[in-house]
Structure 1
Amino acid sequence: MSSVIEQAVQARLVSSAPRMESVPATLRYDSRDPFAVRMSFPASATLDGTDVSWVFSRDLLLRGLDEPTGLGDVRVRPYGYDRTVLEFHAPQGTAMVHVRSSDVRRFLKRSQGLVPAGREHLHLDLDADLAQLMRDAH
Structure 2
Amino acid sequence: MTTEAIHAELVALYDGTTPVRSRWSYRADEPFTVTAAFQTDRDRWVEWVFSRELLVAGLNDPAGVGDVRFRPIEERGLRMLACEIESPEGYALLELDHEAVAEFLDATEEIIPLGREDEHFDVDALIAELTRV
SS at structure 2 position matched to 1:82: strand
Mind listing any 5+ residue stretches in structure 1 that lack a counterpart?
A: none
**Residues 1:28 and 2:29 are matched in the alignment:** no
Judging by fraction of residues, say which structure has more strand. 2
State the partner residue of 1:60.
Answer: 54
The amino acid of 1:71's aligned partner reads V
RMSD over aligned CA atoms reads 1.3
State the partner residue of 1:76.
Answer: 70
Q: TM-score, normalised by structure 2?
A: 0.91
Cα offset for 1:47? 4.9
The amino acid of 1:84's aligned partner reads L
Matches within 5 A, 1:87-106: 87-106=84-103
State the partner residue of 1:9.
Answer: 10
SS at structure 1 position matched to 2:65: coil
Cα offset for 1:50? 2.7
SS at structure 2 position matched to 1:99: strand
* Runs of 4+ residues deviating >6 angstroms: none
Distance across 2 between alignment mates of 1:39 and 1:133: 24
Cα offset for 1:2? 2.7
SS at structure 1 position matched to 2:131: helix
The amino acid of 2:54's aligned partner reads L
Aligned residues: 129
